[in-house]
Every structure is written in structure tokens, then in C-alpha cells.
Structure 1
Amino acid sequence: MARIPSPIGQIHDPLFEEKGLEVWIKRDDLIHPHIMGNKWRKLKYNLLHVRESHLAGIVTFGGAYSNHIAATAAACAANQLPSIGIIRGDELSPDSNPTLRFASDQGMKLQFVSRNEYRQLKENQHQLQQIHPGYLILPEGGTNELAIRGCQEIWTEINQSFDYVITSVGTGGTMAGLLKAMSGEGKLIGISALKGNFIHSEFRNMLQHHNIPFENYELMDQWHFGGYGKVTDDLVAFINDTKEKINVLFDPIYTAKMYFAVTKLIETNYFPSNSKIVLIHTGGLQGIAGFIEKQKKNILL
């Protein structure tokens, strides 16, 4: 069973009190043990669409450690729907890491393709639809119009006002849903997990495509720790220190970078005194086991 609405609570930290700030966190990581965070939000209405339209199942894309692949596999299994995962990397197998093992154990059929073929299939979904007729084709990361609709509910569940809402950003779907739901009520800040300023134009294109106003948001790209999937020893130490300090576990790819950015913004007086801030914990914790196995770095679970 999903824990909806997800809980929200205040974070008590001497730094926040010193700066005169209230910092809260919405724990979407606690929605479901296997379909957590923004992945649950993004899949909700897509699964309803598959059932109501009597579609055959879901085909989607992802890398070796994809949160989206793991969550889609679990969600389809729970709904007794077939799922197919097209995985970037023809050198991989279902036994390559905990994420792929989990997806395979959930019944997802994994197809391992070269990086070139992966790119071609992503760009030519008509071809993929012909190969898998009757299936819903979900993009990498799971962001589409129905996913954005699901992410709007993160905000509608919050029954108090905040000056700032902060989320991590990958494809931008969660941020787009929040921005649409907030309608300018408070400022939305996105912390990109990706290196490069291309994320700004891609996000603007997404907003334009989904008719979401360009208002009252800021997308920050300086907290990526070297790029997507890049994790330093300092970040691992920060994750462990934070877990001991506030008893919240953040993942190294998305949410830890978001929380690190928040602490730095607070230290440098970005937020005016008496501001009320809410952070969105978008999940992603399934990837930690694979990260530990690959990087040989210890994160406190």
C-alpha cells in the first residue's frame, strides 16, 4: 500500500535556527519501499491509463542503475502488467547489479542494447511501437504529460504555505509538475544533478510544450559534484553526517546534492530571515546498494 499523502515534518538544525529559517521536508521517499518518491508520482496516472485503455503493458528505457527501471518493474508487477526495459549497455546482464536483478525478479523483460541503438530507439519510438504493439512507451526517466500531472499532487498535498520549495532535478518532470501546481505561490528552486547549462533550455522547452508558465522559479546547475552519477568522497561523508544528524537518508545521485546545495545557500544567506522552506525528498534510495557495490564506498543505510 502506498503512503499517501506522504508525511511532512520540520528539520531541526542549529544552522537553520541561527539564520531564522523554518526548513521542512516532504518525505516522498516513504511512499512505498519499491515505488518511491517521484517515480510513484510519475507512474500513477500512466498505470491508470494502461489499465483504462486496456493496453498490453509498458515499455521503457533506462541505464544500469535507473530508479525509473526499478520502480516501473515493481509497479507493473503489483498491477499484474507485463513490462519491458530497454537497458543502455549491451555488455550488461540481469546479474550485473542490484537494480537490474531487482527489475528482472519483478518480471521485467530486460533488453540490453548498445548505446547507439539505445539512442536510436529513444529517438524513433514509432519503430518501438511497431515492435511492441499495444504497449505504452514511457520515456527515459518516466516524464510525460501524465507524469507531470502526478507530480502536481506533491504540492496539492501540502496544506500550508511556504516561501520556497526546493527539489532535485533530472529530466525536469517533477519540477515542471510542482511549478504548474504552485501557480506562482512561493518560489520554486531546482537543483540539477546534471553538469552543463543545457538543462535550462531543455526545461524551458518542457514548460512550453506543456503550457506551463515561466514564473517564479530558479534552476541551479552548480551543485552537480562533477556531473550526473558523479559522487565524491566529500559527498559520501556529507550523506553519512546528515543521516546521523537529522535521521534522513539522501541518495548520492539526486537528493544529497539537493540537500548539500540547500545548506550552502543557507550558509551564504540566500534566504531572507523568517523564510519558510520545504524540501522535496524525491526518493532514489534503491540505487544506493548498486552504488556501494560499484564504488566500494560506504553509505550508512
Structure 2
Amino acid sequence: MRPPPLLPSPLTELDDERLGRHGVTLLLKRDDLIHPDLPGNKYRKLHLNLRAAADAGYDTLLTFGGAYSNHLRATAAAGRLLGLATIGVVRGDELAARPLNDSLTRAADDGMRLHFVDRSTYRRKTDPEVLDALLERFGYAYVLPEGGSNALAAQGCAELGRELRGRAEVVTVACGTGGTLAGLTAGLGPEQRAIGFPVLKGGRFLEDGIQQLQEEAFGGRRGDWRLDDRFHHGGYARSTPELEDFCEDFTARHGLVPDRVYVAKMLHGVFTLADEGIFPPGTRIAAVVSG
């Protein structure tokens, strides 16, 4: 794949007196710099799946996502880079989605064929009859789940944990489908713990899904991890004045614009937990900037 991925991704210390007064050091794990088209957890979750698809002789990828899905965009980019056809099954009405937003426009420009389905059908996307109908329509294809989170994705994300061994006592990551956290914690050392910050409202449902992914990928629950679902700010791709103020202040202090959908919510959670005294003085926190 050209350009080649930047691995291991950089780990940089962030100087912020708001954390310093608690004796906490924040390190940013810059997974957003891994690849210009497949940043962060998208590369880590896709690369083993892409290898499996190639080994099995597939020339088409079929996957699922909402209208603002970063996963759809990344899968389309991977298809372009590797010469694979891509099909994106999109939740929602096609007429309502026109004109296409930036994410879907980018996916289409990279060659992805977009297929819109109503929300009821989308909820049943893993049912055999729905999936069989899609494959009958589009032909032989390697199926990736929504968000790309399956056992191979979790195994790919385990390398992220291994890159962070011995570098921090706490590792934090934003959670959409939970695949990154499932793999990350499997790669961490026994003395490390991880905190996942769901970006969807009602994100506690992720816990069962993460445990199931770890069972499928590693044979059981791995690592010391927990979820804190207080920082979704209204749900996926939603924001609040509090989050906007935090982002503007963070950018002014550090010159880095955090992604509002994932990274900003995780960082807001980290700073809030520090203020709550959750982290003992001397704690090093590695926050994954997933892109």
C-alpha cells in the first residue's frame, strides 16, 4: 500500500497546566498520522481483513454505515488503493441524502457504489435473508461489519496496545463500535488499564459487544478496561456548547483541532476525570488520537 503506513505511530507529550496541577501527564498517541487515506483505527481494523479478502480471492468489499460513516470512506479508499471494488450499504433514504455530504462524496469519488436501505432493513443487516439478498444483488463479496469491528479488526488493534506497553499507566480511546478498545486492551501490559469513552448515547450496550469481540478474537476477556458513557454530548456526530468550548480552548492552547465525533469527546472525558481526582499524581495517560 502506498504510501506505506507510519508505524508505530508517534507518541507525543502534551504540556497542559490543567493536568499538570493534578500531577498527570498526557501523551497523545497520534494514530491519525498512520496513513493519509486510512488514518488511525481504520488502518488497524482493516489491514488484516484486507489480507484475508485477498487470500480468499475476493475482488469486492461490501460493508455498512450511516451517512457520516468514516468506515465507509476508509473502506472506499482501501478499495481504490488496492484495486478492489467496494459497495457501501448506507442507512437512510437516498433522496434525503442528496446532495451527498463530504463523507459519502469522498467514498463515491473513490469508486464506492452506494446502496441506500431504509432503517428497518438496516437494523436487520446481519440477518441471513437480508445479507443473502445483498450478495445476490451485488455478487461475490467479502463482507465487513458496520464500523469494521470483527475478530480480525480486534486482532489488528492489539498492535496498538503493544506499541503502548510500558509507556503509560492509563490508555484512553473513543468508542463507536468498540473494536479498537477490544483489541487495544488485549495488547496492553498487565499493569495497564484502559478507559473507553462511547460517542453514542446509551453507549453502555457496548460492553457486551466488546466482550463478545474479545471472545471471538482472543478466546476470552482481555485486559483491564471499563467504559465511561458520560461524554457522548447528545449522541453520534452531535455536540454541545460545552464540547465546542472545550475544543476551541484545546485548539488555542495546543494548535491541534480535535475531531468532534470521536477524539474531542474522549479528551473532554480525560480532563474531566482528572478534575474529579480519578488519576493519582504521577499517572501517565496515553490518549489515542484515532483520526
Cα distance in 2 for partners of 1:280, 1:35 equals 15
Query: Do structure 1's residue 88 and structure 2's residue 91 form an aligned pair?
Result: yes
Letter in 1 for 2:85: P
2:117 alignment partner in structure 1: 113
- Identical-pair percentage: 36
Deviation at 1:137, TM superposition (A): 0.5
Residue 121 of structure 1 aligns to a residue whose secondary structure is coil
Residue 245 of structure 1 aligns to a residue whose secondary structure is helix
Letter in 2 for 1:31: I
Residue 249 of structure 1 aligns to a residue whose secondary structure is coil
Letter in 2 for 1:177: G
Written as runs of structure 1 = structure 2, the 5 A alignment for 1:161-240 is 161-182=167-188, 184-196=190-202, 197-210=204-217, 211-213=219-221, 215-240=223-248
Q: Is the 8 A contact 1:192 1:220 kept in 2?
A: yes
Cα distance in 2 for partners of 1:118, 1:17 equals 46
Cα distance in 2 for partners of 1:46, 1:261 equals 31
Cα distance in 1 for partners of 2:150, 2:214 equals 12
Deviation at 1:92, TM superposition (A): 4.2
CA 1:144–1:202: 2 relative to 1, 3 Å:
closer
Cα distance in 2 for partners of 1:255, 1:219 equals 15
Query: Do structure 1's residue 22 and structure 2's residue 30 form an aligned pair?
Result: no
Cα distance in 2 for partners of 1:145, 1:99 equals 26
Q: Larger deviation: 123-132 or 18-27?
A: 123-132
Residue 122 of structure 1 aligns to a residue whose secondary structure is coil
1:54 alignment partner in structure 2: 57
Query: Do structure 1's residue 145 and structure 2's residue 156 form an aligned pair?
Result: no
2:101 alignment partner in structure 1: 97
- Structure 1: 5+ residue runs without aligned partners? 284-301
Cα distance in 1 for partners of 2:17, 2:153 equals 37
Q: 1:156 aligns with which of 158, 162, 165?
A: 162
Cα distance in 2 for partners of 1:79, 1:94 equals 28
- Structure 2: 5+ residue runs without aligned partners? none
Give the alignment's TM-score, normalised by structure 2: 0.91
Q: Deviations over 1:185-219 (max 9, x none)?
A: 30111111122232233333333343232542111
Deviation at 1:71, TM superposition (A): 0.6
Q: Is the 8 A contact 2:188 2:223 kept in 1?
A: no
Written as runs of structure 1 = structure 2, the 5 A alignment for 1:23-42 is 23-42=26-45
Cα distance in 1 for partners of 2:157, 2:115 equals 28
Q: Larger deviation: 202-211 or 255-264?
A: 202-211
2:277 alignment partner in structure 1: 269
Q: Is the 8 A contact 1:93 1:112 kept in 2?
A: no
Give the alignment's TM-score, normalised by structure 1: 0.88
CA 1:85–1:94: 2 relative to 1, 3 Å:
farther
Cα distance in 2 for partners of 1:85, 1:72 equals 9
CA 1:93–1:21: 2 relative to 1, 3 Å:
closer
Number of aligned residue pairs: give it.
Answer: 283
Q: Is the 8 A contact 2:151 2:214 kept in 1?
A: no
Q: Is the 8 A contact 1:121 1:128 kept in 2?
A: no
Q: Is the 8 A contact 1:121 1:127 kept in 2?
A: no
